[in-house]
Amino acid sequence: MEDFNKFIQSQKQALEKAGQAGMAICAVKDGEVVIESCLGFRDVDRKLPPTPNTLFPIGSNTKAFTAAALMILADRGKVKLDAPIQDILPELVFADDSANTATPRDLLCHRTGLSRSDLLWIMRPYIVRKELPLIIKGLDQAFPFRSTYLYNNIMYACLGRLVEVADGRKWEQFVKEEIFEPLGMKTASFDIDSSVSSGDFSLAYEKSGQNGSLESVSFSRLHGMAPAGAINANIREISNWIRLHLQKGLFDGKQIISESGIRDLTNPQIPVNDNLVEGSEVKSLGYALGWSAACQRGEIVVSHGGNVNGSTSEIGFMPSRNAGIAIFVNSGSSVLPMAAMHSYFDLLLGASEKDWVMEAEKGLSALMEQAMPKAETPAQGNMSHDLEEYAGSYSHDAYGLISVKPSGDGLAIRFAERDLALTHTAFETFSFAWEGIPASVAFETGTSGKVEAALLSFMGSPIRFKK
């Protein structure tokens, strides 16, 4: 127990050093909860600490629940993971015809080659889930089908729709009745309003300004995208989710997922290239089905992270040690949960202490630098048109509308339900930022001499909107 106390103290110090708000930790060993610790504040202004029952958004850790739902349906013969998904969901059509043989397994392990297209659910937050498969054909194929790993939230939302069509129940109802209820997860929910109404929920925080002060931010509301990242849970109940996997699909005498199904869910399917802590102690083994697999000091670790507005989570388990851990933090893009997981497994392995926070921060910085567009240079070259000629509405079959209008002495873009100032950078290109993420729009002039389209660049390749 002294070692566990030392572990908790180290996490408290890491939380304070990072200037983040609160953290909740639950660790399981040999079927028993060995750590249940809550640090900092779930509400900074009111000085309310988190409790084991405090609900946190777990973000993309939701994906493992969606994968489990499909495995349950596979166990019952309602879904075949290696048959074309169009057998059940014929409306899911890709622009790349070779991808139209895609199976649920292809979507589960992110190997369809479809562009991430996160802009879709940012611009259309209220999109209905049953509409999602219908618009996939309008999205770009970034890589050849089955050629590489490319994380995709929209594919998981489509998998949620697959659950609904195959079973007849809404994805939320299926997960509640087939996973939450057998595991005793009575307070877990799918929308933030349910969490807030419970009274014991964590606020969401992000660092802002040059001094990095904490600022309360709005919760993510995923609506139709829920199967990719909408679950809210507490550490006390999530411990049963960890036990389920360590006990090979068995919980409280009931085989919820077959033992072979658990093996399949956690078996790596495709190599990945975005592990934050890849190095001598940790080697990625690949992405499985809603989980990632890695080797830490010679032992297999199955885990996943989650990140939504103002909240970060990590859930992982080490089967050889019959141990697992969940860490929830109410700060966005935090490396603390991943670092805490690796520290816990190091403790069980008797390894020397390592600064996993520093390791993860270096990895995150490298990934962010790679993913984010480069900062625009000051304006160079004159515009070809008067400002008012750029104004107007621009449309895309999948992404919907953006509009540009005069604003003061310049222009503003209506993007994701916000009016954002455009800054001229060079010739026909203007820059703007959404929640700190740099973006740009470049206008195209047609043979008529008039502005005919806008190329929107946001965390990916430019997307062409027609005027």
Say whether both 302 and 422 belong to one domain.
Answer: no
Give DSSP secondary structure letters for 148-173: S----HHHHHHHHHHHHHHHSS-HHH
| pLDDT tens-digit series, residues 147-162 | 999 999 999 999 999 9
Q: Identify the pLDDT of residue 85.
A: 98
Last residue of a domain, one of 371, 400, 428: 371
The predicted model gives 169-195 an average pLDDT of 96
Tally the domains of the chain.
2
Say whether both 410 and 328 belong to one domain.
Answer: no
Say whether both 411 and 308 belong to one domain.
Answer: no
Last residue of a domain, one of 346, 371, 396: 371
Q: Is 383 exposed, middle or buried, given 0-12, 13-18 or 19+ CB atoms closer than 10 A?
A: middle
| pLDDT tens-digit series, residues 233-290 | 999 999 999 999 999 999 999 999 999 999 999 999 999 976 777 777 999 999 999 9
Full residue range of the structural domain in which residue 269 is found: 2-58+185-371
Say whether both 433 and 300 belong to one domain.
Answer: no
Amino acid at 425: T
Helix then strand then coil, % of the chain, to nearest 5: 35, 30, 35
Query: What confidence tier does 122 reach under pLDDT thresholds 50, 70, 90?
Result: confident
What long-range pairs does 73-81 form, CB within 8 A, spacing at least 24?
73/163, 73/166, 73/167, 74/261, 75/257, 75/258, 75/261, 78/166, 78/167, 79/104, 79/162, 79/166, 80/104, 81/105, 81/108, 81/264
Confirm whether 250 is domain-assigned: yes
CA distance 91 to 182: 33
Strands (E), 10-168: 22-29, 32-40, 56-57
Confirm whether 334 is domain-assigned: yes
Q: Which residues of 118-155 are buried (b: 16+ CB within 10 A; e: fewer)?
A: bbbbbbbeebebeebbebbeebbbbeebbeebbebbbb
The predicted model gives 283-307 an average pLDDT of 97
Among 50-54, 172-176, 343-347, 397-401, the minimum mean pLDDT is found in 397-401
Query: What confidence tier does 209 reach under pLDDT thresholds 50, 70, 90?
Result: low
Say whether both 222 and 318 belong to one domain.
Answer: yes
Query: What confidence tier does 202 reach under pLDDT thresholds 50, 70, 90?
Result: very high
CATH number, domain with residue 250: 3.40.710.10
Structure tokens at 114: 């479809």
Confirm whether 86 is domain-assigned: no
Say whether both 267 and 359 belong to one domain.
Answer: yes
Q: Identify the pLDDT of residue 220.
A: 87
Confirm whether 68 is domain-assigned: no
Strands (E), 162-212: 204-208
pTM above 0.75, yes or no: yes
| pLDDT tens-digit series, residues 29-78 | 999 999 999 999 999 999 999 999 999 999 999 999 999 999 999 999 99
Say whether both 325 and 423 belong to one domain.
Answer: no
Identify whether the C-beta of residue 166 lies closer than 8 Å to the C-beta of residue 104: no
The residue whose two tokens read 């809210």 is: 232
Confirm whether 137 is domain-assigned: no
CATH number, domain with residue 395: 2.40.128
Task: Give the residues across from 419 on adjacent strands.
Answer: 414
Say whether both 251 and 315 belong to one domain.
Answer: yes
Say whether both 255 and 396 belong to one domain.
Answer: no
CA distance 16 to 12: 6
Amino acid at 277: V
Among 33-42, 210-219, 299-308, 342-351, the minimum mean pLDDT is found in 210-219
Say whether both 310 and 423 belong to one domain.
Answer: no
Cα angle, residue 38 at apex, residues 8 and 256 outer, rounded to 5° = 100
Q: Does the CA dihedral 116-121-124-130 come out positive or negative?
A: positive
Angle between helices 259-266 and 235-246 (to 10 degrees): 100
Confirm whether 206 is domain-assigned: yes
Residue 406 Ramachandran class (φ > 0 left, ψ -120 to 50 alpha, else beta): beta
Say whether both 460 and 367 belong to one domain.
Answer: no
Say whether both 352 and 438 belong to one domain.
Answer: no
Identify whether the C-beta of residue 189 lies closer than 8 Å to the C-beta of residue 231: yes
Q: What are phi and psi of 128, to 5 degrees?
A: -80, 140
Q: Which residues of 86-99 are buried (b: 16+ CB within 10 A; e: fewer)?
A: bebbebbbbebeeb
